[in-house]
Structure 1
Amino acid sequence: MKRRDFVGLTGLATGAMFLPSVPGFGGELIDPARLLEQVDPAIKKRLADAALNAAKSAGATYADVRIGRYLNQSIFTREKQVQNIANGESYGAGVRVIANGTWGFAATNTVTEAGMAKAAQLAVQIAKANAKVQKEPVKLAPQKGYGEVTWKTPIQVNAFEVPIKDKVDLLLAANAKALDNGANFVNSALFQINEQKYFASTDGSYIDQDVHRIWPTLGVTAIDRASGKFRTREALSSPMGMGYEYMQPKAQDKIAGPAGTGLVGYKYSYDILEDATLAAKQAKEKITAKSVTPGKFDLVLDPNHLGLTIHETIGHATELDRVLGYEANYAGTSFATQEWKAKNQPYGSKLVNIVADKLQPGSLGAVGFDDEGVKTKQWDIIKEGKLVDYQKIRDQAHIVGQNESDGCCYSQSWEDVQFQRMANISLKPGTEKMSVDQMISNVDKGIYIAGRGSFSIDQQRYNSQFGGTVFYAIEKGKIAGMLEDVAYQTNTVEFWNSCSAICDQNDYRLFGSFFDGKGQPPQVSAVSHGSATTRFNAVNVINTARKIG
């Protein structure tokens, strides 16, 4: 990175202060060159041992330590200008203990042996105070220690090593493409995250992980001056657990959308210039698109859209803490209780196979070990339409009669306590060869939906409504023009039981969320959801347009 490029570009921006409205990005503003620094693992081990020893001496029966260095870079542009560039660092440690059968946690940004020991002692004091109101002792699933191990996101190009000027030039080039193709306004942004996480526990693990994530996005607005109408089309990118190679498009990663739409899907690279061009054209087309007539339609859902529905109706619904009622205050519990599961009724059709996977290449949730030192894995959530398992961590496994964690415990930073978070939750592709056009050819009356939109869901993850970014009518097996004002209403079980066809592996792609919120105090986490284009029969579609007067 060239410091003069950074100084020159931030001189064009509207101030070097980081935008506080973006969750998950913050910490101390730093020189971009510091983003490439690393902390010696030997130093981290010595610091961790200081905390573990202090915790045991104070009476802890179990302790773990997370030393975290969280780095982020964000670039914001609008039309021909750079609006903001910020580089942030957050560095500190969290110590979690069990004493008198109860959890205690404390964190510090004084990352010295004395500071670590003090935090550990405080965590034990908190645990002992909590024990006075604890009804049952914490029961941890057994976990072997792994000794000293490392894991890194298998990136090809470290995004933090790419000169800021190159990234700014790419965003501004995308803006220019949108403006040249009819957009009146355009903004684009690039978010990059590096989590350098060190975990140590009294189980005997010393785990050093280097996690990378990236998210390019844009928004394009077209205005019809005569009528005063305007429409916006958001990016069809997905945040990924990758390096800057995601921003270097490869022909083999592109998947053509349905004939007649011009849409392109992206697997493991993203062409922001191509997407900006199409976004401008589609934003203009949306202004004159026909408003949907409500009714029952067969829906053909693109992976970039379906991922959000998977996230809300299956991902959150199968988190064990929601199922048990522990998460009721923040976004509700779940209809998929243990009693509901015991009835063995179908969650979806026999085509619906959902897996949780913390190892999925390119996914946001891919790590080697979770924040409890548990080695990550893949496991079944729904098999041939039946709910077969939940997502759980070490102190939950015994509640459902199991003896191991699923490795899905996570904290957004060193200063927050780790707790159960969603793994990558994905719909397996179809086993029979099927393209999107082949799927559409069998639809008599339907709607094709791509991109995420507004949504709502009730407190038990059951009744829901989902919009999208772009919509196309399907008539007698062919795309028949763009639609607007589309949303579908359904309940989770009805929706997934209407699943009638899934495209094959060649169409499989990842949707992702950088900022999935949960907990009190709230935390965010990053998670992906994979699927191929999928058909759902006879779904209720409403018109979302509001008439004034």
Structure 2
Amino acid sequence: MKRRDFIHLSGLGLGAMMLPGLAFGKEVSPEELMNPGMLNAAKKELADVALQAARSKGATYTDVRIGRYLRQFLFTREKNVQNITNAESFGAGIRVIADGTWGFAATDDVTKEGIAKAAETAVAIAKANARLQKEPVELAPVQGVGEVTWKTPIEKNAFEIPVKDKIDLLLKANSAAMDNGAAFVTSNLFMVNEQKYFASTDGSYIDQDIHRIWPTLSVTAVDREAGLFKTRDALSAPMGMGYEYLDGLASEKTEGPAGTGLVSYRNSYDMVEDATAAAKHATEKLKAKSVNPGKYDLVLDPDHLGLTIHESVGHPLELDRVLGYEANYAGTSFATLDKWESGDFKYGSDIVNIVADRTQENSLGKVAFDDEGVEAKEWDLIKDGVLVNYQAIRDQAHIINEPESHGCCYADNWNSVQFQRMPNVSLRPGKDKLSANDMIKDVENGIYIVGRGSYSIDQQRYNFQFGGQLFYEIKNGEITGMLNDVAYQSNTQEFWNSCVQICDKDDYRLFGTFFDGKGQPSQVSAVSHGSSTTRFNGVNVINTGRNI
């Protein structure tokens, strides 16, 4: 990683800092982010050059991605601006099949000559790879769609909002936290625009303009006499929306369970309000009692459960992990093909229905087509608790007898080769009317958990441990106070089979991340996970004994 990139990533925290997929491209001014870029007619002409050049060298299939990737990241701490990043990356990636084998090449020389040379290089690489290929690539069919355009349905382009206004919002949130007891506070705003043009020998010319936004913060309260500190991070979710997400509309938020002082946000986020609440929560955590380890019924808020879904369902049902093709980055999967082939593997209880979905409104994974030109869709992964499918792309579909790709292929930049990536993976809400308060009323001895914390899961995505941001003790149907040092342990099958209640669609919310890492070289992708508040009975809780 270059020193410049390292400095840019300083506000992301240690884990995100080291993700190589976050190389931004060249630094530009905020005004340059608003330049319209290359016209579609010019992109089509260049794509045709690549398709013809590859065909002339022996390619039997070719796809071209001409991409312009824009990023604006803002970092603040207390009263100060730490960093502002404006970056643009523009180029083309060309993927081919020649002699039954994949080849890929990329170039930032987006001219007819540069494109043709990259296409010829991709074919040469494929032919070289073919000497080691044991079986030819088998692609699921895709019907060409001709010329298509699609754009994330945003109301306010975040890049059009003046940088000063966005910095003012972050500093206002910081001030609100400090005014309510915070000793330290950081706030960040991530905005991404992917302008992607895809063309293939199947007859598709697809232009997509994808927008994502993520406001986040971290608040720390300190008890200097006791030598303790506690943090509470933002309860926002990254969204496939424009700047309208930060309007904080009252109609888009609801009060959390009694005794918590929490506010739940859906499709809207009030950063100042959340910063104020975060300071109060962090201060309250300083005095909260430590949990007694044992078996508890857990009531998990969507902002927490999304991470558990991501790690224990999303990743293990990626078909390349199941097949062992993906192993170096976070392991393979316990959910092997024999479990799916049996037709009765109980991944969870009867009420667990988990769906993969690239069409979900306002989600990070929402697109019209994936990076193979496959139309976005929704499909079941777990139905009535039974494992019924995986996540597969064009060259994997035949392995699980699927007639077509699931449309979940993605590359994080024009110079990255596309491969199978997690779509939105979400738990369907319950059918019966049930709120979080209603659920808590039936719990005799439990813990209500909000927000993502530290976690650990094994290389098979089976045995795990999850923490959180906030923990509330439940006794005889009421929240009695805050707890500290909570983490729960289980294995994937045992945990999802302990699921006994799911709130209805009125409680359904999205969780997500911009930085889901996979592959070697590593790539990151943005993905959402939806759920309603959910109850799991008899889960083992440990005392972590850490003052964090």
On whether the aligned pair clears a TM of 0.5, the verdict is: yes
CA contact (8 A) 2:172 2:272 kept: yes
What CA distance in whole angstroms lies between the structure 2 residues aligned with 1:486 and 1:227?
20
CA distance in 2: counterparts of 1:16 and 1:84, whole angstroms? 12
CA distance in structure 1 between the aligned counterparts of 2:225 and 2:463, rounded to whole angstroms: 40
1-structure distance, mates of 2:445, 2:34: 54
CA distance in 2 between counterparts of 1:196 and 1:341 reads: 37
Q: Could you tell me which residue of structure 2 aligns to residue 389 of structure 1?
A: 389
Q: Residues 106 and 122 of structure 1 are in contact (CA less than 8 Å); yes or no, is this contact kept in structure 2? A: yes
Residue 197 of structure 2: SS of its match in structure 1?
A: strand
CA drift of 1:330 comes to 1.4
- How far apart in 1 are the matches of 2:298 and 2:62? 50
Q: Does structure 1 residue 435 correspond to structure 2 residue 435?
A: yes
Structure 2 counterpart of 1:388, which letter?
V
* Residues in 2 aligned to 1:116 and 1:170: alpha-carbon distance in whole angstroms: 43
| Cα-to-partner distance string for 1:222-244 (whole Å, 9 max, x where unaligned) | 11121111111111111111100
Establish whether residue 463 from structure 1 lines up as the match of residue 463 from structure 2.
yes
Alignment of 1:523-538 (within 5 A): 523-538=523-538
**CA 1:17 to 1:498, structure 2 compared with 1: closer, same or farther past 3 Å?**
closer
Distance 1:266 1:395 in 2: 39
* Deviation (angstroms), 1:25: 5.2
Structure 1 residues 16 and 164: CA distance shift in structure 2, 3 A: farther
**Contact 1:16 / 1:84 at 8 angstroms: preserved in 2?**
no
Structure 1 residues without counterparts, runs of 5 or longer: 1-13
> Do the aligned residues in 2 keep the contact of 1:141 with 1:395 (CA within 8 Å)?
yes
- % identical equivalent positions: 68
The answer for the alignment partner of 2:134 in structure 1 is: 135
Task: Tell me whether 343-352 or 190-199 shows the greater mean CA deviation.
Answer: 343-352
Matching residue of 2:496: 496
The separation in 1 between residues aligned to 2:8 and 2:466, in whole angstroms, is 32
Q: Of residues 20, 31, 34 in structure 2, which corresponds to 1:33?
A: 31
2: CA distance, partners of 1:225 / 1:55: 66
CA distance in 2 between partners of 1:525 and 1:546 (Å): 31
State how far apart, in whole Å, the 1-side matches of 2:265 and 2:50 are.
45
Q: Distance in 2 between matches of 1:452 and 1:82?
A: 26
Query: Structure 1 residue 453 and structure 2 residue 453: aligned?
Result: yes
The equivalent of 1:9 in structure 2 is none
Please state whether the residue corresponding to 2:449 is helix, strand or coil: strand
Partner of 1:372: 372
AA partner of residue 86 (structure 1): T
After TM superposition, give the deviation of residue 34 of structure 1 in Å. Answer: 1.1
Is the 8 Å Cα contact of residues 190 and 217 (structure 1) preserved in structure 2?
A: yes
- Name the residue aligned to 1:144: 143
- CA shift for structure 1 position 546: 4.8
Mapping for residues 294-373 of structure 1, pairs under 5 Å: 294-343=293-342, 344-373=344-373
Alignment pair present for 1:512 and 2:512: yes
- SS of 2:514's equivalent? strand
Aligned to 1:444: 444
Q: Which residue of 2 aligns with 1:406?
A: 406
Q: Distance in 2 between matches of 1:52 and 1:370?
A: 19
SS for the counterpart of 2:286 is helix
Alignment-derived partner of residue 115 in structure 2:
116
Query: SS at 1:19's partner residue?
Result: helix
Deviation at 1:19, TM superposition (A): 3.2
Asked whether the 8 Å contact 1:25–1:72 carries over to 2, the reply is no
Give yes or no for the alignment of 1:18 onto 2:8. yes
For residues 364-390 of structure 1, the C-alpha deviation after alignment (integer angstroms, 9 at most, x for no partner) is: 010100000000100111100001111
- TM-score by length of structure 1 reads 0.96
Output the CA distance in 2 between the equivalents of 1:112 and 1:471.
56
2:169 corresponds in structure 1 to 170
Question: What are the superposed Cα offsets for residues 219-265 of structure 1, whole Å, 9 maximum, x if unpaired?
Answer: 10111121111111111111111100001111111022110000111
C-alpha deviations, 1:140-188, integer Å up to 9, x for none? Answer: 0011111000111000100000011110110000001000000011110
Q: Deviations over 1:443-498 (max 9, x none)?
A: 00000000000001011110000000000000000001000000000000000000
Counterpart contact for 1:18–1:26, Cα < 8 Å? no
Residues 1:199 and 2:198 are matched in the alignment: yes
Can you list the C-alpha shifts for 1:404-452, whole angstroms capped at 9, x where unaligned?
0000000000001000000100000000000111000000000000000
Shift of 1:17: 6.4
Q: 1: CA distance between counterparts of 2:141 and 2:213?
A: 34
Query: Following superposition of structure 1 onto structure 2, how do residues 262-273 of structure 1 map, counting pairs within 5 Å?
Result: 262-273=261-272
Name the count of aligned residue pairs: 534
1:338 offset after TM fit, Å? 1.1
**2:515 touches 2:524 (CA, 8 Å); kept in 1?**
yes
Question: What is the root-mean-square deviation in Å for CA atoms of aligned residues?
Answer: 1.4
Q: Is the 8 A contact 1:65 1:95 kept in 2?
A: yes
Q: How big is each residue's C-alpha offset from its partner over 1:280-310, in whole Å with a ceiling of 9 and x where there is no partner?
A: 0011111110000000000000000000000
Q: Is the 8 A contact 1:147 1:205 kept in 2?
A: yes
Residue 16 to residue 320, structure 1, CA distance change in 2 (3 Å): closer
Following TM superposition, by how much is the alpha carbon of 1:345 offset from its aligned partner in structure 2, in angstroms? Answer: 2.3
* CA positional deviation for 1:340: 1.6
**Is residue 321–residue 331 contact of structure 2 (8 Å, CA) maintained in 1?**
yes
Gapped runs of 5+ residues in structure 2?
11-16
1:462/1:16 CA distance change after superposition, 3 Å = closer
In 2, are the aligned partners of 1:15 and 1:84 still within 8 Å (CA)?
no
Q: Which runs of 4+ in 1 moved over 6 A?
A: 14-17
Task: Please give the alpha-carbon distance, in whole angstroms, between the structure 1 residues aligned to 2:236 and 2:247.
Answer: 13
Does the residue aligned with 1:96 lie in a helix, a strand or coil? strand
Q: CA deviation at 1:402?
A: 1.5
- Paired residues of 1:457 and 1:463 also in contact (CA < 8 A): yes
Q: Are the equivalent residues in 2 in contact too, given 1:500–1:536 (CA < 8 A)?
A: yes
- Matched-pair contact (CA < 8 Å) for 1:421–1:525: yes
In 1: Cα distance, 2:282 partner to 2:125 partner: 55
- Tell me the amino acid that sits aligned with residue 142 of structure 1: P
The question of whether the paired residues in 1 share the 8 Å contact of 2:5 and 2:24 is answered with no
- Bigger mean CA offset, 328-337 vs 375-384: 328-337
Q: Which residue of the partner structure matches residue 283 of structure 2?
A: 284
Paired position in structure 2 for 1:44: 43
Report the CA distance shift for 1:153/1:404 in structure 2 as closer, same or farther (over 3 A): same
One-letter amino acid of the structure 2 residue matched with residue 412 of structure 1: D
Structure 2 partner of 1:56:
55
Paired residue secondary structure (1:260): coil
Deviation of the 1:101 alpha carbon: 0.3
Q: Residue 74 of structure 1: SS of its match in structure 2?
A: strand
User: Within 1, Cα distance between the matches of 2:56 and 2:148?
Assistant: 26
Q: Who is 1:71 aligned against?
A: 70
Where does residue 14 of structure 2 map in the other structure?
A: none
Cα pair 1:73 1:86 within 8 Å, conserved: yes
SS at match of 2:31: helix
How far does residue 342 in structure 1 lie from its aligned partner after superposition? 2.6
Question: What is the rounded CA distance, in whole Å, between the counterparts of 1:19 and 1:421 in structure 2?
Answer: 23
Q: 1:228 to 1:16 in 2, by over 3 A?
A: closer
| TM superposition shift of 1:18 | 2.9
Read off the aligned partner of 2:333 and give its amino acid letter. S
CA distance in structure 1 between the aligned counterparts of 2:261 and 2:284, rounded to whole angstroms: 12
The one-letter amino acid of 1:141's match is A
Residues 1:210 and 2:200 are matched in the alignment: no
- Aligned residue identity for 2:25: G
Amino acid at match of 2:34: L
